[in-house]
Amino acid sequence: MWTRRQSGVDLTWIVRTTRGGSRTVKGRYLSLAATGAVLSLTAAALTGCGAVGNLTGDNEVTLRVVAADYGDNPQNSSAGYWKDLAAGFQKDHPGVKVEVSVYSWSEVDAKVAEMVKAGKAPDIAQIGAYADYAAAGKLYTAEELLSVSTEADFLAPLADAGKVRRVQYGMPFVASTRLLFYNEKLLTDAGVIPKDTKGGWQPKSWADLEAAAKKLKTAGVATPFALPLGREEAQAESMMWMLAGGGGYTDNEEAYAIDSADNVKTFEFLRDKMVGQGLTGALEPAKTDRQAAFDAFTRGEVGMLNGHPTLLKQAAEKGVKFGMVAMPTADGTEHPTMGVADWVMAFKNGHRKESGKFLDYLYEAKNVTAFTNKYDLLPVTTTGYRAMDASTGGSATQLKTFLQALPNARLYPVGKKSWAGVSEDVKQNIGKSVQPGGQPAKVLEDIAESARRADAH
């Protein structure tokens, strides 16, 4: 057991040994996302670029970076962060030029996959999964890239989660947990929260959620509970419900168990009790993306939804008074919550040294906190945590609520090379399970069988 104390919060990470003897870390953390069209920071398009960066002069090397967009509008797009980061790095490293292209989360993973398949992999990618590329021998290891101080600075559970066969290829970028957000005014007006209550709402079970959603519907709330199972991040919403129902993507031996009895019961509950009773709004979940649900919450149209720290700022800017609690579970007993980490990786394009220098710069505390502070995320490094710990004001207090959820959180099975494909399968198909007349057992069985086949190769 590994315990770290930050900001007065114990972060306990349980490490167990699998049957094969490898160590699996069960501490975990967010994947966050955003919408928007491609935002390119370069004048040159990536199409047509070679597999390695071009030489723009006798001694100058061009690093091509692909990153995900965490903003929810053009004004707070991640493109601005990467532009400033590249400029700062180039100032200190005149022999290296950095060109960054930023894509929405709904397409960035697929975009990188297309580039790799075409033999035009970027030098560095900041996306949602790394294991399939590591297994194919396409990535540099963290040890080959980073300085000793940078490599040692990662929080240990996240560093371990970035390993394939005990070798680290995936470098964590940002982290987060998920909580249930609720609109205090809507719940108070609907009688869910008594007007004289000062302690907020404390639901424990899905029966509590269902009862609250019914009251919100009766009170005329457009969407009592937002259930975004659209392409943008269906894999996250699904995992939150699976875990709360006692299941998950994998079993205790880390084998895929997507079609487990607990998971089937979870999606039957969503189909019959939430969607079937009209508690999830007019738009069907399969066509609802996360950011659209967030936007509706900030407009005061949603009573409850699962969210990550980015929603803190978005809701506050719109003047929405909200509360946050741990996701209630099927039976009211404690189950693991979900956490997500997004990943950085460097492809073997012949620019190991230059990529390593850029990554060392990326993980400097000032650059880590510049990003996490902008999007209300959790740093993945010790120095980043210290910098956040020293900061005051803003949403720091609320972020500690997410921090407290880390010890009981689980990550996606990111160490599996099959996970990227399984995640895509979930995005495309899981929404069908909760449609009126949908067949959760069949949908989950199809996804699970494909996942097990992919994992066996």
Look up residue 335 and give its DSSP letter: -
Higher pLDDT, 265 or 199: 265
Distance (Å, whole) CA 230 – CA 355: 35
Higher pLDDT, 337 or 27: 337
Residue 294 has pLDDT above 80, yes or no: yes
Q: 434 with 237: CB under 8 angstroms?
A: no
Residue 164 has pLDDT above 50, yes or no: yes
Residue 450 has pLDDT above 90, yes or no: yes
pLDDT of the residue at 384: 82
pLDDT of the residue at 21: 34
Higher pLDDT, 163 or 268: 268
Joined together, the tokens standing for residue 257 give 């168990």
Prediction pTM value: 0.70
pLDDT of the residue at 9: 32
Higher pLDDT, 15 or 99: 99
3-state DSSP assignment of residue 219 = coil
Q: 47 with 115: CB under 8 angstroms?
A: no
Residue 43 has pLDDT above 80, yes or no: no
Residue 40 has pLDDT above 70, yes or no: no
pLDDT of the residue at 48: 37
Q: Which ranges in 219-277 belong to alpha helices (H)?
A: 234-244, 261-269
Q: For residues 248-269, give the mean pLDDT.
A: 95
Higher pLDDT, 2 or 397: 397
Q: 308 with 180: CB under 8 angstroms?
A: no
Joined together, the tokens standing for residue 4 give 């770290």
**Cα separations (Å) of 197 from 187, 188, 201, 398?**
12, 9, 8, 20
pLDDT of the residue at 395: 64
By mean pLDDT, which of 168-177, 258-267, 308-317 is the weakest? Answer: 308-317
Q: 116 with 129: CB under 8 angstroms?
A: no
pLDDT digits (tens, 9 = 90+) for 380-433: 888 887 777 677 665 667 787 787 776 567 888 888 888 889 999 999 999 999
Distance (Å, whole) CA 340 – CA 21: 25
* DSSP per-residue letters across 40-54: ESSSS-STT--SSPP
Higher pLDDT, 267 or 43: 267
Q: At what angle do helices 79-92 and 352-362 cross, to 10 degrees?
A: 120
Residue 105 has pLDDT above 70, yes or no: yes
Q: Which of 11-15, 49-53, 426-430 has the highest mean pLDDT?
A: 426-430
340 alpha carbon, distance to own chain's centre? 4
Tokens 């012949």 correspond to 350
Please report, for the chain, how many H helices and E strands are present, in that order. Answer: 18, 17
Q: For residues 102-107, give the mean pLDDT.
A: 92
Tokens 């609802």 correspond to 288
Residue 44 has pLDDT above 70, yes or no: no
Residue 18 has pLDDT above 90, yes or no: no
**Cα separations (Å) of 135 from 141, 325, 419?**
12, 38, 12
pLDDT band at 436 (very low <50, low <70, confident <90, very high): very high
Residue 437 has pLDDT above 70, yes or no: yes
Joined together, the tokens standing for residue 200 give 């907020």
What mean pLDDT, rounded, does the chain reach? 85
pLDDT of the residue at 393: 60
Q: For residues 367-375, give the mean pLDDT.
A: 90
Higher pLDDT, 166 or 358: 358
Joined together, the tokens standing for residue 420 give 């990227």
pLDDT band at 195 (very low <50, low <70, confident <90, very high): confident
Q: 355 with 124: CB under 8 angstroms?
A: yes
Residue 189 has pLDDT above 80, yes or no: yes
pLDDT digits (tens, 9 = 90+) for 223-236: 999 999 999 999 99
Higher pLDDT, 40 or 262: 262
Q: 28 with 157: CB under 8 angstroms?
A: yes
Beta bridge partners of 172: 343
